[in-house]
Amino acid sequence: MKKLIAIVFILFINSINAQVTFKPGLRAGAAFSTFSNTRSSYKSDFYIGGFGEIKLTRIYALQPEITYSRQGSNNVKTFVGYTNDGEEIVESKNLNIDYVSIAMINKFTFNGFQVQAGPTLDFRTRDNLRYEKSDADLALVVGFGYKVPLTGLTIEARIKKGLIDVIDSDYYSSNNNSDYLFGDYNTNVSFQLGVSYAFGK
């Protein structure tokens, strides 16, 4: 009985090892971003990065990624002060915030169609915010993809939702006018549409 269990275990380990493959790759595309709880417009920009696809089974792969993404929001109504008559002065500003993101994406592939999900840790590299609350952001990524047959090309669509308050809303909003009042909890929201390419057979 012990020999039979040992044989089954060895065969199981060998079958896993036979399935595991690694492919490096690149990914890039358009990013459409904003901040939650703000009356603003989406900012159109780009993302670019690399990844390593670790295929563990026929349908499941673990994909660590590192990505540079340009995010933010356009036409943010910003309270900047008062006139001599006591009226509020409001300006519309485009806010930019760039990140280097480290993600761990789980990919499930069924007949070329993919479901992608996982966490990402973003480190702020550049911004034009007057006051910010955090140098890093923790986000969740969910998306879908389609792997083009007989190629390493995959078409992807994702949404990335930040979990950390990244803006000092007391500076960027007025406490008196609900037309441009920020909420107290302003997180990154980004839609990504692009392609990825994995090298190797």
Domain ranges of the chain: 17-198
Mean residue pLDDT across the chain:
86
Reported as a single tens digit per residue, the pLDDT across 38-47 is 878 899 999 9
The pLDDT value recorded for residue 8 is 47
Q: Tell me what percent of the residues of the chain surpass a pLDDT of 70.
A: 83
Distance CA 134, CA 50 (A): 25
Lowest pLDDT segment from 8-22, 68-82, 121-135: 8-22
Cα R_g (the chain), whole angstroms: 22
Half-sphere exposure of 126 (CA within 13 A, CB side): 6
Distance CA 108, CA 90 (A): 47
Distance CA 45, CA 127 (A): 14
Answer whether residue 189 shows pLDDT above 50.
Answer: yes
DSSP state of 27: E
**Cβ 139 vs Cβ 160: under 8 Å:** yes
From residue 45, give the alpha-carbon distance in Å to each of 114, 120, 127, 180, 191.
24, 19, 14, 24, 10
Distance CA 150, CA 131 (A): 49
For the domain 17-198, what is the CATH code?
Answer: 2.40.160.20
The structure's pTM equals: 0.81
Residue 3 main-chain phi, psi, to 5 deg = -65, -40
How far separated are the first and last CA of the chain, in Å rounded? 41
Distance CA 194, CA 45 (A): 12
Q: Is the torsion defined by CA of 60, 66, 68, 73 positive or negative?
A: positive
- What integer is the mean pLDDT of 72-85? 80
**Cβ 100 vs Cβ 138: under 8 Å:** no
The pLDDT value recorded for residue 133 is 76
